[in-house]
Structure 1
Amino acid sequence: MLEPHNSVLGDALRSYGGNTPVVIIDRTVDSHHGAKIRDYFRSQEIAPHYLVRDLDESKKGLTAVEELAAALDALPIRRRTDPLVAIGGGVLLDVVGFLASIYRRGMPYIRIPTTLVGLIDAGIGVKTGVNAGRHKNRLGTYWAPDRAFLPPEFLPTLDTRHIRNGVAEIIKLAIVRDRELFALLEGTITENGCAGFVSHPQLESVCVAAVSGMLEELAPNLWEHDLRRPVDFGHTFSPALELGAEDMLHGESVACDMALCAAFSYNRELLSWEEFERIVRTLRQSGLPTVHQYFTEPVIASSLAEAIRHRNGMQHIPVPHSIGQAVFIEDSTVTEWIAARDLCLKEESNR
């Protein structure tokens, strides 16, 4: 995407009628790709303002938004002709998207995800958000980017842990809607975990299937009028784990939630033991955790209560009925979820 002869991004920016977009770049991305990004814009005769920021989950709050808003105030930009261009991972995309939705009551922005989780999850859709009061994405908006570019060229500079972080979201999608994608992942991952994932010959096939599947899930329900969302699989108990436990990435927390839901489904006799083991095995072979000590009874109980509030009084918890198909649970109890956690602990101890 950043080759000088590729004018797609340049043409998109010229279509606004200005020449000084605000490019907000993740600091790590800038250290690896900053020179190439700047060379690209020079080749396109575009003169951006650059804001380089170090954002992670611990900094994903209103303070970051206010600091960026102050930086925009100091620039001679116009509201409609100088869009924001977010280049980074999911946290940066969420923060910049939220800023775009509220700065001067809304301005255009473009997403360019640079992580695997951004490529197949955070870079798609219309949701923005920041954390508040120890709640993940408690403050947010629906604000569609004008464009989202999904280039794979940033992936080779990711470390293995952040590759796993994205693989978790692909596994999530495969479990609830795409049995063939799950089988493709099994073949891709079992060879050497996630270490060679970005250089695997099936990488493009996996990413295309994941992005297409996510778009098919989101498009009919973009504004979440229907709160029964299969893509919420792995996102009932994981928010508390991600914010409460030390050093847990989003995908790692989602992986623990997925294993918990698979164990629940097996205990309810909705999922066979064979498929439960396939799910757990694939998570483990990816290098992802399947259970965490933070999943205490109080945390599980409060997460269930929070999910019910968030889903307008209903549980709407997607669990696998088989690999490639999900059902929604509306009548689960904390006792059942504790039993599911204990099954995950037992499986972990038997490794």
Structure 2
Amino acid sequence: MGLLYDLSTKYKTLSIVGMAKNAGKTTALNYLIEEADDEGITLGITSTGRDGETLDLVTGTDKPKVFLYEDTIVSIPSQLYDLAEAGLEIVEMTKFGTALGDVLLCRVCESGYVQIAGPVATAETKKMCGRMFDMGTELILIDGAIDRKSIASPDTSDAIILSTGAVLSRSIKKVVEETSHVVNLYNLPVLEEGKVRDEIAKHSHENRVMLVDDKGKINKLNLTTGLGASRFIDDAINENTRYVYIPGAFTNSVIADIERDKLKQVKFILKDPTRIFINVMDWRQLVKKGFIVSVLKNIEIAAVTVNPYAPSGYSFDHGTLRDTMQEALPDIPVLDVRM
């Protein structure tokens, strides 16, 4: 039994997320699709953007095509339907709109190459996945073709497969370091159950920066984002403040002007780790200063795939990259899908 069989016993939906373009995400997708066919697992395939074209529409580099086997359920916008080399039976014409037309849910009746795309909105993706399960799908793979941050959201799938590789750096050490940083962020502690969590969750839809004191009382600031607002947040923190909820992106600018003693005094709360945009070196410095952050939901990483090749021409030894990554991430399966 292979990796996908093991994952299919734990999860119903998996997102494939790339650390960067050319990290091997589509190669990983094709590997999993082939393994599903070997294991007799009926797949549903969708994407938050467009995948399966032979040329990357942004970078102009060659891309692997997506090959689907019979009985796979796939989402295809109406304008891409005629481009499919596979035989497709339209099962449902949905109202989920894309830039390439409304999404068609199709069953593959003759194996072949397909360009896939689906709705971008998380809510629509979840609804569409429900339709796919009704059609007999056992496991859904969601290709994160546009933005690794948004598709990694825990609202989208049960877990993610993270694709990384040589494209990040000419240094294996840096590739492993950056990948480990993302894995650590996605595994941030979840805010414990209780009054504070209940109050933050109750008001989180208002998308405002909120401070919570030691008695659980909330102070909503007139800020819809923490970006560039660290001076205002610093002024609002008093000796009784224990938590600061940031509704959107979390960058250095959110906390740059907060006094060090206040930074150690409070715990920052985020909706999920995809909101964090702080590099590994800055993150380490913040932790040394006593910075603490929790999330309402974290992200489970089911596996990591590595690609030893970079499109600019350099590469790593297959075994060295895989083994070094596995050593850094001992609790997560690491796979070189090009081997």
* TM-score, normalization by structure 2: 0.36
Which structure features the higher share of strand residues? 2
Q: Relative contact order, CA 8 A, sep 6+: which one is greater?
A: 2
* TM-score, normalization by structure 1: 0.35
- Larger Cα Rg: Structure 1 or Structure 2? 2
